[in-house]
Amino acid sequence: MVPKINLIQAKSIFTKSGLPGSDWVINPYNGCLFGCMYCYAAQIARWRHPDEIWGTYLDVKINAPELLKEELEKLKKRLKTKNFGSVFFSSVTDPYVGLEVKYQLTRKCLEVLADFGYEGNVSIQTKSPLVTKDIDVLKRLKDVAVGFTVTTLDDKVSRFLEVMAPTVSSRIQALQELHKAGIPTYAFIGPILPHFTSDEGKISELLDKLQEVGVKEVWFEHINLSPKIKARLYDFLGKEAPELIPEFEKADTEEYREKLEGVVHKAMRGRGLKMGLGKVIHHRKLPKKRI
């Protein structure tokens, strides 16, 4: 299916974040063409596109850099500082979705932050090695980190569930390149994939590889099986691998989470890696059920 690209004028770009660990969020795009099957943003970002399929549309906020400049200046005047807290790229898109090559909105927003002399932390999380094209701008920021979402080390698994995203091996290479360039990096193991990545051996293997390429901080996240995410994911699994549905279903209990958290903490022990927020994050409370 040919994706639908909409050029739009955003009304705001530097917005308060509802995500743990960040104060502000910048989304140069709305929608994401990587189309991951577990994507939580699919339900948040689709208010503009209630009838369209996630992964088939992208809103390009063509005025994002100019708007960001205006909003930063206004906040500086009001708050008398160049540090308004931590800034995160992005919550309802991947900031390096392929069309960044054409529109360069993430790059231009980073340039605006660098020119402004932004003093807070700027964190970029992506699945795309395209971020490496911006190492020159990243180096101009006072406090920056680039994170890659890494849910498996197996390209076949990443291709299966992160359908149009760059393969995980290319992400690992990009982490290494950023590290060599002196950019602090982190990894986001989220969601921890039931069946594929949830045992201690797989998590340890992943952590070994991440440490090998210079990662010093790792974030973990439980899979979010809210009704809307589940409907989309199970529809896909029902067609492609129905035997996996019971495996994912098991992950939707407090007991599973507790057990998995034990596994994660054990795998992290003694590595000298920082754990984002010191815990495996989750986005919804679950009922107690027997596994």
What residues make contact with ligand SF4 under the rule CB under 6 A? 32, 34-36, 39, 41, 93-94, 127, 162, 165
- DSSP H helices, 80-167, are 100-103, 105-116, 135-138, 155-161
CB of 73 to ligand SF4, least distance (A): 29
Closest to ligand SF4 by CB, 94 vs 134, is 94
**Smallest distance from ligand SF4 to CB 271, Å:** 26
Q: CB-wise, 78 or 102, nearer to ligand SF4?
A: 102
Which residue, 93 or 198, has its beta carbon nearer to ligand SF4?
A: 93
CB atoms within 10 A of CB 73: 11
What single string gives the DSSP state of each residue in 196-241?
A: TT-SHHHHHHHHHHHHHTT--EEEEE-----HHHHHHHHHHHHHH-
Which is nearer to ligand SF4, 40 or 118 (by Cβ)? 40
Q: Strands across the sheet with 4-8, in order?
A: 4-8, 57-61, 29-30
In 3D space, the residue among 95, 143, 93, 135 whose CA is nearest the CA of residue 118 turns out to be 143
Residue type, 106: T
Given the structure tokens 């080390």, which residue do they identify? 153
Q: Judged by CB, which is closer to ligand SF4: 158, or 198?
A: 158
Nearer to ligand SF4, 57 or 118 (CB): 57
Q: How far is the CB of 175 from ligand SF4 (least distance, A)?
A: 16
The CA distance from 266 to 259, in Å, is 11
**Closest CB 88 distance from ligand SF4, rounded Å:** 13
Minimum CB separation of residue 99 from ligand SF4 in Å reads 12
Nearer to ligand SF4, 183 or 223 (CB): 223
Whether the CB-CB separation of 201 and 191 falls below 8 Å is answered with no
Measured from the CB atom, is 134 or 162 closer to ligand SF4?
Answer: 162
Tell the smallest beta-carbon distance from residue 265 to ligand SF4 (Å): 25
Backbone angles phi, psi at 149, to 5 degrees: -75, 125
- Name residues whose C-beta falls within 8 Å of residue 64's C-beta, 6 or more positions apart in sequence: 10, 13, 26, 28, 105, 108, 109
The rounded distance, in Å, linking the Cα atoms of 38 and 119 is 34
Strands 57-61 and 87-89, bridge-based pairing? unpaired
The least distance separating ligand SF4 from the CB of residue 42, rounded to whole angstroms, comes to 6
CB of 214 to ligand SF4, least distance (A): 22
